[in-house]
Amino acid sequence: MSGPELAEAGRLLAAARRPVVFTGAGMSAESGVPTFRDAQTGLWQRYDPQELATPAAFRADPALVWGWYEARRRGVLRAEPNPGHRAVAAIAARLPDTVVITQNVDDLHERGGVAAPVRLHGSLFAPRCSACARPTPLPSDLPPPADPPEPPGGPEPQIGAEPSGGPESPDGRLTPPACADCGAPVRPGVVWFGEALPEAALSAAVEAASGCDLLLTVGTSALVHPAAEIPLVAARLGAPVVQVNPVPTPLDAVCAVNLRGPAGEVLPALVRAAWPDAG
């Protein structure tokens, strides 16, 4: 990738001292982790978020929801960070005051070399009790889940799934473990629709966006609030916003530069444009 937009974004990155990198599902797409809203491949094209990603869905059918998240967690375990994740780590290594804020629930930033991203929507790897919130160890000793459960209403094509499951989970349902303290079902440690974002993470994100001198937004549709406001905070306070996305988003209008392309190609090119001497 080359061109005047990349050169301008490279200049902005080279001049930055306190950049924020704000990421969404597109960041991990080239690692094989599905996004939510992309046509054909997005999870919400095949699964109804109301039946899988709300507190009411978990109350109504804990095994359906737990099985679906366990199947996704196993998919993430099979995935590897892509060159985009490594480029974000290279930026953070070059500029130690970089703050990486992610909406993603995978662990690919950490495995790609970013020590502690700010997690706005939780993690697939931090289950907790649905009643008393006690953190619970990962259920490594449970039988592997089958394919992601079929959404109510009929069979769907499968994504990133294990081969068919055992008798414990013929349709991908998996009974969640019980909390060791109170016996209530354990839930995925992610933020569902209608739930508040973790207060400390949201405050850290707003503070970083308020004080940054460049915000790089990567692979998000910017449709989910309040996370989508983070780039707007930076823009409102005068920081240039650079976007990496193959398609336009609602953020286009506030961006100083829009780099149209996949994160795994654009971000390494951006790092090379900012620091041509970098190995």
Catalytic residues: 121
Nearer to ligand BJW among residue 122 and residue 240 (C-beta):
122
Residues 133 and 135: their CA atoms lie apart, in Å, by 6
Residues 63 and 58: their CA atoms lie apart, in Å, by 8
Shortest distance (Å) from residue 49 CB to ligand BJW: 6
Residue 37 within binding range of ligand BJW, rule CB under 6 A: yes
Residue 132 within binding range of Zn ion, rule CB under 5 A: yes
Q: Which does 53 bind (CB under 5 to 8 A by kind): Zn ion, ligand BJW, none?
A: ligand BJW
Q: What are the structure tokens assigned to 234, written together?
A: 């930076």
User: According to CB under 6 A, which one of 15, 247, 253, 278 is a site residue for ligand BJW?
Assistant: 247
Shortest distance (Å) from residue 95 CB to ligand BJW: 21
Nearer to ligand BJW among residue 6 and residue 190 (C-beta):
190
Q: Please choose, out of 88-96, 165-173, 176-184, 215-223, the segment that lies near ligand BJW by the rule CB under 6 A.
A: 215-223
Q: Please choose, out of 5-13, 22-30, 91-99, 130-138, the segment that lies near ligand BJW by the rule CB under 6 A.
A: 22-30
User: According to CB under 5 A, which one of 48, 168, 181, 207 is a site residue for Zn ion?
Assistant: 181
Q: Footprint of ligand BJW on residues 139-178 (CB under 6 A)?
A: none
Residue 25 within binding range of ligand BJW, rule CB under 6 A: yes
Nearer to Zn ion among residue 131 and residue 204 (C-beta):
131
Question: Judged by CB under 6 A, how many residues of this single chain contact ligand BJW?
Answer: 35
Shortest distance (Å) from residue 17 CB to ligand BJW: 25
Q: Is the CB of residue 244 less than 8 Å from the CB of residue 271? A: no
Using CB under 6 A, list all residues that contact ligand BJW.
Answer: 24-26, 29-30, 35-38, 42, 53, 103, 105, 121, 190-196, 219-221, 223-226, 244-247, 249, 262-263
